[in-house]
Structure 1
Amino acid sequence: MSYSLVSLFSGAGFLDFGFSENGFKVIWGAELVPYFAEANNYNHQLRYGTADNPVQAVDITTVDPADIPRTTGIIGGPPCQDYSIGNSKSPGVSGERGKLVWDFLDKISRLAPEFFVFENVAALYRTKKHREEALEPLIHQFNELGYEVYFKVLNTLDYGIPQDRSRVFIVGFKKQIIQTLNDSGSDAFQWPVQTYENPKKDFEWPTTGDAVPVLDEYEFIEQMNLPYELTVHSAIGNESEMSNLRNHVYFTPYSERFQTVAEGDVKRKSFKRLHRFRYSPTVAYGNNEVHLHPTLPRRLSVREALRLQSVPDWYAFMDNTPLDKMFKMVSNGVAFKLSSLLAVQIKSVLDNYHAIIAKQPEKTSVH
């Protein structure tokens, strides 16, 4: 079965496409920033050969829920800057962006989808103020609306993605769905199974001083006692492959630091040089944060950043998109592979539920 989807705070679509590639169809979306919405729609056309532009460049707070199509599910990640530890003021739920979590809640309340997915920064849970003022009340309200709510902080590294990126996820299903599955003995929602339990501590990662000669790197790969898929090299190590992909573009080097920062030196606030055989820090380019290629005297390219976000190579930005805009879209997105894994788990719940309902004509689907 395929299920309809509404996307709120859609961004450039990494979360959306994780679902679209796994049995869901985005029928409507809302994204405040026009070039984000444009990139999202462009990739819908690029991937699915459609002329549709499902994502509207609109402020979702001004949209009447009556004007949003009825849908099986709603997904989205309200802007996270007001909760981020990188924001010195970090006003949380009282900030202009922070309070948008309540708009997400309002849309769920009014549209009553069968399920929803809410995503945000890990600080929403890890910072006591944000947890007590936003996260816990939000979960409580979802529960009051009749949803069975599942909450977890997921780190991309645990799922085979070479990036240390933790995010809060809240998944909700109408309680009738979960009750029906429980009554029939079927599995209810399960989080995706982690590939690695504690990869940052379980493996001995090379340090800044452990540089590997370029000519010996493949011999090093054969001998290293690390999961290769968790290394930066696994995503961007083949420069000839990268050069044949779209969006393999980067800012022109301008500073001596592009030459002098040691491989693996990621302790600094900016000009962090990645290590080929470590995972990447959180992809967060912009706001003066610069990540350098492990061995070349330049920043990472847009395509390299996309690779570290596990975004498939078919995804592309239009060639005339400014570099800073492309990097911002990559940084704001959800890791595609993690979105896909969540979509598979959610679709399994819906498939099982609707199969049970189909065998019980006297019952109807949730409303």
Structure 2
Amino acid sequence: MTYTVASLFSGAGFLDFGFSETGFDVVWGIELVAQFASANNDNHQRRYNHNQIIIQNGDITEVNPQDIPRTTGIIGGPPCQDFSIGNANSPGVDGDRGKLVWDFLRKINFLKPKFFLFENVESLYKTRKHRTEALEPLLEQFKELGYEVYFRVLNTLDFGIPQDRSRVFIVGFKKEIIDTLKDNEIQEFKWPDPIYTIPKSVYEWPSTIDFGTEINEEEYIRNIDYPYELTVHSVIGNEEELSSLPNHISFRPYSARFHNVPEGDVKRKSFKRLHRFRFSPTVAYGNNEVHLHPTLPRRLTVREALRLQSVPDWYSFEKETPLGKMFKMVSNGVAYKLSELLAIQIKEVLDNYSNIQDTQINKANKATLTVK
């Protein structure tokens, strides 16, 4: 079955495409930044022949909910800067962007979709101010609107994505859907099963080494005692393959630090050099943050960053898009593979509910025929 979805704060579409690839149809979206919306629309057009479904330069606060199509679900991640640990002021819900969590709530209240998915930074939960002033009231109000609500912090590393990226996720279903599943002894919503448990801690990761250190990579891979798929090398280690893909481009090197920073030194605020056989820190290119290639004297390319976000190679940015905007889109997005896993679990709930409804309708029709 295919279910319709409206996307709020659509960005470049990584969250959207995780749903689109698993039986959902994104029919409407809105994004404030023109280049972000353009990238989303361009990939929707090439992949699904959808034309201009994401509104460009769209301020969601100015959109009358009556103008948003009624869909099965609503997904989105309101801008997170006001909750981010990296923001010195971190105003939370008092900030202009932080307040947008309430607009998401208002849209849910008016449209009353069967389900919704909300995403934001981990500090929405970890920072006491944000937890008490935003997260906990938000969860409570979703419940008051008649939703069964599920909350969890998920880290991409636990799901086989070689990046340490923790994010808050809230999934809600109309209470009647979950009650129906429970009455029929069918599994309610279940979070995706992690592949690994606390991989940052349970494995012994290699230490920092001098930039340019030669390693017999094939032999090294054969002998590692931790999952290779959690290493940067597993997704960006094949330069020949990457060179054949779009967006394998980056800024021109300009500093001696491109040669001096040790491989694996990711503790500094900027000019972090990834270790080829460790996972990447959170992909975040902005505010002067620079991530360096493990073995080459340059920044990561856009394609390498996309791969660390588990975005499929069919996805690409238009050539005329400014490099800075490309990196920002990658940094702001939800890891695609995690979006896909969440969409699968959500669809299972909707499918089970639909099957129960169909069975009940068939029984009622048979009973009516019998009476006649």
TM-score range, shorter chain: over 0.9
Higher mean alpha-carbon deviation, 50-59 vs 206-215, is at 206-215
- Match of 2:296, SS state, is coil
The correspondence of residues 192-207 of structure 1 with structure 2, limited to 5 A, is 192-207=192-207
Q: 1:212 and 1:297 mapped to 2: Cα distance?
A: 9
CA deviations 1:6-63 (Å, max 9, x no partner) are: 0000000000000000000001001111110000000001212x15111101101000
- Match of 1:186, SS state, is coil
Match of 2:113 in 1: 113
Q: 1:12 and 1:274 mapped to 2: Cα distance?
A: 25
Q: 2:363 and 2:141 mapped to 1: Cα distance?
A: 27
Q: 1:215 and 1:290 mapped to 2: Cα distance?
A: 24
Match of 1:147 in 2: 147
The correspondence of residues 97-112 of structure 1 with structure 2, limited to 5 A, is 97-112=97-112
TM-score by length of 1: 0.97
- Match of 1:150, SS state, is strand
Q: 1:63 and 1:85 mapped to 2: Cα distance?
A: 30
Match of 2:293 in 1: 293
Q: Residue 130 of structure 1: CA displacement?
A: 0.1
Code of the aligned partner of 1:334? V
Q: 2:363 and 2:312 mapped to 1: Cα distance?
A: 41
The correspondence of residues 233-252 of structure 1 with structure 2, limited to 5 A, is 233-252=233-252
TM-score by length of 2: 0.96
Q: 1:154 and 1:251 mapped to 2: Cα distance?
A: 31
Code of the aligned partner of 1:134? A
Match of 1:60 in 2: 60
Code of the aligned partner of 1:306? L
- Match of 1:7, SS state, is strand
CA deviations 1:249-304 (Å, max 9, x no partner) are: 00000000000000000011100000000000000001100000000000000000
Which is higher, the Rg of structure 1 or of structure 2? 2
CA deviations 1:214-249 (Å, max 9, x no partner) are: 450111001111100000000100001011100000
Structure 1 stretches lacking a partner, 5+ long: none
Q: Residue 209 of structure 1: CA displacement?
A: 3.1
Q: Is the 8 A contact 1:208 1:275 kept in 2?
A: yes
Q: What percentage of residue pairs aligned between the two structures are identical?
A: 70
The correspondence of residues 1-367 of structure 1 with structure 2, limited to 5 A, is 1-48=1-48, 50-57=49-56, 58-209=58-209, 213-214=213-214, 216-361=216-361
Q: 1:212 and 1:200 mapped to 2: Cα distance?
A: 25
Q: Report the aligned-residue RMSD.
A: 1.3
CA deviations 1:297-333 (Å, max 9, x no partner) are: 0000000000000000000000111100000000000
Structure 2 stretches lacking a partner, 5+ long: 365-372
CA deviations 1:134-179 (Å, max 9, x no partner) are: 0000000000000000000000000000000000000000000000
Q: 1:210 and 1:335 mapped to 2: Cα distance?
A: 30
Alignment coverage as a number of residue pairs: 363
Q: Residue 362 of structure 1: CA displacement?
A: 8.8
